[in-house]
Chains A and B, each alone.
Chain A
Amino acid sequence: MTTVMDPEVRAPARARRAVGGGRARASRRARPARGIDRPGAWPYLLILPGFAFYAAFVLLPIMETVRLSLLDWNGLTAPEWAGLSNYVRALTDDATWQAGLVSLSFIVFSCLAPVSVALVLAGLIARTRIRGLTFLRFVYFLPYTIALAVVAIAWRWLYATDGTINQVVRTIFGEEKVTAYLGDADLALPALGLVAFWAMFGFVTVMLLSGTQHIPRELYDAARSDGAGPIREFFAVTVPGVRQELRVSLVLTFIMALRTFDLPLMTTQGGPGYKTTTPSLIMYRDVFLNMQIGRGAAIAVLLTLFVGAGVLVINRLFRSEDG
């Protein structure tokens, strides 16, 4: 990151600091209009409207969520101080741990698996000139742009007993093999996992492709003249070439994996049992259906901490590789 210095802004700011003191405060209050003309105030004025919205609707609510997580409140009567009991209750509840396991599965389904497959696809594309690449990229990226509510409906039809997949199953294996995938205790989670994978792999591929474009062709030629096969070439040229894109896609898909909400809400409602219930779904139910606001807030805080820790770990992994 290069730091851009604006001399016009810097000089008056320094001058003002030099004058400083109590006199400035009094005169500023007396003539507020002058402050707008002073270049030193410019950047702050530019930031002000955006920051006001950001602070009011993101930063303050985060702090308020932390406060709520320490209260016992049903949304109607006066809240009572609860200390850490909401956290204790959340962490001793089997449902929370079950949701944690579902989250881990989604880290595989919508983060690790799509990133691995996307790496291979981007590697394949980087090696040669592909006809119809523009079309492929458009198609790959399409699932990511579509609302998960829409995705859920499209896949419910694929998985339905009268639906597309079962039509194939019925023709090949007969009626008795027809399964309601989303209602099956063992299959519901992998079935949703496939949807999550579908929604993510193309997004990551297109992102990695924007990295492979900057890999000099000579690197591939050099690897080949060294006698490297496609696999060594992949690990020696493609993967190092997209490090930055790889890091960002891992971070983004990791966050989306842990936030999984729309998909189970609109397909399985978290069932059968708690098989597909994610932390976000528990939070939503606690707060808006069961009126246990403190506990829901505690889960939101835990989820945020977990996301933050994961992002730190991913960034740390990539940084240590640099050294």
Chain B
Amino acid sequence: MVSKRENAITYAVLYTFGFFALFPFISTLLVAFNPPTGAAKGLAIPSPWSLDSFIQAWTDPMAGIGRSMVNSMIVAVSVVAVSVFFSILTGFAFGTMKFRGSKFLLALFVLGLIVPYEATIIPLYYEFRAIGMLNNYWSMILPCIGGSMAFGTYWMSAFFRSFPRELIDSAKSDGANRWTLLWRVIVPTAGAPIFAMATILFIWTWNNLLLAIVMITDQKLQMAPAALNYFVGRQYGAASYQVTCAGALLVALPVMLIYYVLQRRYGSDALAGALKG
């Protein structure tokens, strides 16, 4: 079918890009395994390999990657839990029921997918400031739930729309009311799309830098990406590049783990499938 030479070129191109995608991680990883003191250079193969940079990044009292990751975890888990629950409800309504204004309301939700975050952040900041709610978890959690509803509703509506009608009807004729139908019949079959949605919402919340640096200025409550920003700020001061790279990898770790689990369980298509419309 395809000639040997063509095949060789194909493999060369694909794996070159694969290497390109991985290379920054490899280079960062190598730097981070160097001891925190002294100067690392280039592709620094550590000798000896040391975990000290990771330990220092985790415990550094000012940047405090460890503390910031706990903060981010609390926020991200709350946002994902609430958003997934609400999205199942909105998706169930839009996907299986016809009601007055449903098209308009769904369009209103989908609009949120293209509106840039920048359009909301200014009033969010001043309103949270006005009620004295800056510098606490709520100033992250509440706006992130609001923002997650656009994607969650859109994604769960698409799932419920494709759910076989016969199953819904037969459950109804068995006397199941809507609530048991939703939670006992439909949701148990929706593991893949719900987990994919949860992963995306987790990634978006965990990675959100703009909201984090605007809403939270208290070092103790800092989110993980914002703590990295702080590290970078004093790059040429106390923290060495080894520690900064170690911190960056620590911050990347939870997202990488979740993405890995998702793709092991549901295939690498799960996320991409979720993102296309």
Q: Which A residues are within 8 Å of any B CB, using their own CB?
A: 1-6, 8-10, 13, 39-40, 42-44, 46-47, 49-51, 53-62, 64-65, 68, 75, 117, 120-121, 124-125, 127-128, 130, 134-143, 145-158, 160, 162-164, 166-168, 198, 201-203, 206-207, 209-211, 213, 224, 230, 244-245, 248-249, 251-252, 255, 258-259, 261-262, 265-266, 279-280, 283-284, 287-288, 293, 296-297, 300-301, 303-304, 307-308, 311
Contact = CB atoms under 8 A, between A and B. Distances in A.
Contacts of B237: none
B268 A304 contact: no
B59 interface: no
With most chain A CB atoms within 10 A of its CB, the pick from B17, B178, B252 is: B17
Contacts of A251: 114
Given A146-B255, A251-B114, A304-B119, A49 B108 contact: no
A163 B232 contact: no
B99 A280 contact: no
A127 B2 contact: yes
B120 interface: yes
A152 B226 CA distance: 12
B25 interface: yes
Nearest to B15: A136
Given A4-B96, A164-B27, 13 more contacts: A8-B172, A117-B17, A128-B2, A128-B7, A149-B226, A153-B28, A153-B232, A162-B40, A164-B42, A198-B21, A210-B276, A230-B6, A280-B118
A287 B13 CA distance: 45
A187 to B, nearest CB: 18
Contacts of A120: 13
Contacts of A43: 93-94, 97, 99, 102
B210 interface: yes
Which of the listed residues B108, B122, B165, B275 has the most CB atoms from chain A within 10 Å of its own CB?
Answer: B122
What 10 A-B pairs are tightest by C-beta distance, nearest first? Answer: A57-B146, A167-B42, A64-B123, A149-B225, A61-B120, A50-B86, A147-B207, A46-B93, A43-B93, A153-B248
Q: Which of B98, B99, B272 has the largest count of A CB atoms less than 10 A from its CB?
A: B272
B13 A266 contact: no
Given A58-B120, A230-B6, A304-B119, A143 B21 contact: yes
Interface string B7-22: 1001101110110111
A304 B123 contact: no
Interface footprint category on B: 35 or more
A58 B93 contact: no
A75 B17 CA distance: 48
B117 interface: yes
Contacts of B273: 210
Contact of B123 (A68, A145, A283, A311): A68
Nearest to A140: B21
Interface string B124-156: 111100000000000000110111011011000
B105 A47 contact: yes
A284 to B, nearest CB: 7
Given A68-B123, A147-B209, A224 B1 contact: yes
Contacts of B24: 143, 151, 154-155, 158, 198
A141 B272 contact: yes
A303 B116 contact: yes
B225 to A, nearest CB: 4
Given A68-B123, A148-B209, A47 B21 contact: no
B210 A261 contact: yes
Contacts of A155: 24
Interface string B165-180: 1000000100000100
B66 interface: no
